[in-house]
Amino acid sequence: MRFASLVPAKFVRRVNRFLCMVQLGNKETLAYIRNTGRLKELLIEGSPVYLKEKDTGKYKYEVLLTETNRGFLVCLDSQIAPRLYAETLTQQHVIYEPRINGSRLDLLVGRYIIEVKSVNLVKDHTALFPDAPTKRGTKHIHILINAYPKFVPKMVFVVQREDAKVFSPNAETDPVFAQMLKRFAHLGYEVKAYNCFVSLEEIKLKEEIEVIL
């Protein structure tokens, strides 16, 4: 997935779940964040961020990337994770945001109903999800399990940075989600994880990484 030209800035502070203040040249301006996670390990005062210009909405800019203190770029747009995974499903018909039992999930590919989660948090090369408690994430696992046998459930975690070598559920932050994911796997359903190559020009899946539950 290619990016349009990005605008460099500095992160100042988080205003709420969807907005932050950034330093752009000599002035501060509000920018949209398409990610409801806490991101406290990534959005640190003074850290480099890269903005994309928005064509619609109240705010001109959206924070697309940030940079870690080790120089790794991290994509913060949680909504692109399903598309990144779908790009790898060549020669297959992909239906986006199918409704299953009254709820919207991410992808339907043949009989496979797939929920794709965006991951940003990495500690010691281990990607962790979620970075804040997620009742919605736990609900999605329930829906996937109940979709069988009409559909075959699958969970995919897309780590939108390249320094992750392993994925694990973040049991310290959300033990309920972690237990539900373990149950999902023990029932025999697939749990996959991938890291990403990220540059100022593009993001794409890089390689599958180990899942440790």
Quick: pLDDT tens for 93-112. Answer: 999 999 988 899 999 999 99
78-89, pLDDT tens digit by residue? Answer: 999 999 999 999
- Whether residue 126 is found in the same domain as residue 180: yes
Angle CA 90–94–99, to nearest 5:
160
> pLDDT category, 41, cuts 50, 70, 90?
very high
The residue among 208, 165, 205 whose CA lies nearest residue 84 is: 205
Q: Which two tokens stand for residue 176?
A: 């309920």
Give the end of a domain, one of 22, 55, 75. Answer: 75
- For residue 186, give its domain range: 78-211
Q: What's the rounded Cα separation, in Å, for the pair 117 and 134?
A: 11
Enter the pTM of the model: 0.95
**pLDDT for res 201:** 98
CATH number of the structural domain spanning residue 38: 2.40.50.580
- Whether residue 202 is found in the same domain as residue 145: yes
Average pLDDT taken over every residue of the chain = 96
Is a pLDDT exceeding 90 seen at residue 91? no
**Packing angle, helices 135-147 and 175-186, rounded to 10:** 20
> pLDDT category, 90, cuts 50, 70, 90?
confident
Q: What's the rounded Cα separation, in Å, for the pair 211 and 197?
A: 19
- Whether residue 151 is found in the same domain as residue 171: yes
What are the backbone angles phi and psi of residue 127, rounded to the nearest 5°? -80, 135
Q: Which two tokens stand for residue 192?
A: 């996959």
